[in-house]
């Protein structure tokens, strides 16, 4: 059987050209709908293993429910009421902290892994009330100590809420596409399960499915100038959704076609 050709990071890949082309086509805004920091926190927790589109459908019902103080049990609402300056966001955090967990599970069911997500969201809400004065923390260490917040999620929150770039968000699209673009070295990202594709009758390595997001992030942080850390993943995620999909990349429609070492035959 023909062995797949291992990819090597192409240090001469023109990253600036990649960023320029992507920025002409894609808007670098996050695809999750939110109106305050707690809504974003809930949305990013729900987005694990779920599409942003589905999360937005679920939160259309969830966020107004959380904002309605009638949905907090009366005795608990009296406790929360002692807090001054009750905003829509405070009400949402309080509802989340005190509501029946089964109700929360039902509301977020369609995003998958609903039991774990409901537990993490509720425990985070409780911590915001008891420890963080109803404010999403603004440091990586504090954020990753919250239930359901991993480094990827924390990066999103820091950049969206506080315009802080402490890292580069590596989700499933970034993980796959930076490998296809040969921006990271396969020897340094810890993957073992290799996807391949055929082009001109030759089998080529496509990407390592189980590569480590943390290792990929470290390599990207060495490569991508810090001023692009926030926007770069947004561009790549949008490319991954509409063109460079996992199973069938539409290379003929891709703005990176000429620059991509993994392009398929047109």
Site of interaction with ligand SF4 (CB under 6 A): 177, 180, 243-244, 249-251, 254, 256-257, 260, 262-263
Q: Distance (Å, rounded) from C-alpha 201 to C-alpha 199?
A: 5
Query: What gap in Å lies between CA 260 and CA 15, rounded to an integer?
Result: 11
User: Minimum CB separation from ligand SF4 for residue 172, in Å?
Assistant: 14
Task: Considering the complex, state which of residue 162 and residue 257 has its C-beta at the smaller distance from ligand SF4.
Answer: 257
Shortest reach from residue 39's CB to ligand SF4, in Å: 32
Residue (21 or 152) nearer to ligand SF4, CB? 21
CB atoms within 10 A of CB 149: 22
Nearer to ligand SF4, 163 or 265 (CB): 265
Angle of CA points 115, 117, 122, to nearest 5°: 100
DSSP 5: B
The CB-of-211 to ligand SF4 minimum distance in angstroms stands at: 16
Q: Which is nearer to ligand SF4, 91 or 179 (CB)?
A: 179
CB of 235 to ligand SF4, least distance (A): 11
Tell me how far the alpha carbon of residue 14 is from its chain's centroid: 25
Biggest CA pair distance of the chain? 71
If one counts every other C-beta atom within 10 angstroms of the C-beta of residue 114, the result is 18
- DSSP one-letter code for 230: T
CA angle 200, 204, 206 (to 5 degrees): 125
Q: Which is nearer to ligand SF4, 61 or 250 (CB)?
A: 250
Q: Residue 208's closest CA among 2, 7, 1? A: 7
Q: How far is the CB of 213 from ligand SF4 (least distance, A)?
A: 19
**Of residues 191 and 249, the one with the C-beta less far from ligand SF4:** 249
Whose Cβ is closer to ligand SF4: residue 128's or residue 216's?
216
Minimum distance of ligand SF4 from residue 253's CB (angstroms): 8
Nearest to 217 by CA among 150, 265, 263, 161: 150
- Six token digits for residue 138: 């603004």
Whether the Cβ atoms of residue 217 and residue 188 lie closer than 8 Å to each other: no
Minimum CB separation from ligand SF4 for residue 185, in Å?
A: 18
Q: Which residue has the tokens 């600036």?
A: 16
């Amino acid at each position: 059987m023909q062995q797949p050709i291992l990819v090597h990071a192409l240090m001469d890949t023109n990253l600036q050209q990649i960023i320029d082309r992507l920025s002409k086509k894609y808007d670098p805004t996050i695809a999750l709908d939110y109106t305050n920091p707690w809504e974003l926190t809930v949305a990013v927790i729900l987005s694990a293993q779920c599409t942003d589109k589905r999360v937005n459908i679920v939160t259309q019902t969830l966020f107004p429910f959380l904002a309605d103080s009638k949905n907090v049990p009366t005795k608990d609402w009296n406790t929360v009421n002692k807090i001054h300056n009750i905003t829509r966001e405070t009400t949402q955090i309080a509802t989340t902290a005190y509501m029946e967990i089964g109700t929360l599970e039902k509301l977020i069911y369609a995003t998958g892994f609903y039991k774990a997500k409901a537990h993490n969201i509720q425990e985070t809400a409780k911590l915001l009330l008891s420890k963080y004065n109803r404010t999403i923390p603004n440091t990586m260490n504090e954020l990753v100590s919250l239930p359901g917040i991993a480094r990827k999620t924390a990066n999103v929150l820091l950049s969206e809420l506080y315009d802080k770039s402490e890292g580069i968000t590596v989700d499933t699209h970034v993980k796959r596409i930076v490998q296809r673009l040969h921006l990271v070295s396969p020897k340094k990202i810890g993957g073992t399960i290799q996807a391949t594709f055929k082009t001109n009758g030759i089998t080529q390595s496509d990407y390592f499915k189980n590569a480590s997001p943390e290792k990929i992030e470290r390599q990207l942080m060495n490569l991508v100038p810090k001023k692009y850390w926030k926007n770069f993943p947004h561009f790549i995620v949008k490319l991954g959704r509409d063109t460079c999909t996992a199973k069938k990349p539409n290379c003929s429609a891709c703005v990176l076609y000429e620059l991509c070492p993994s392009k398929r035959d047109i």
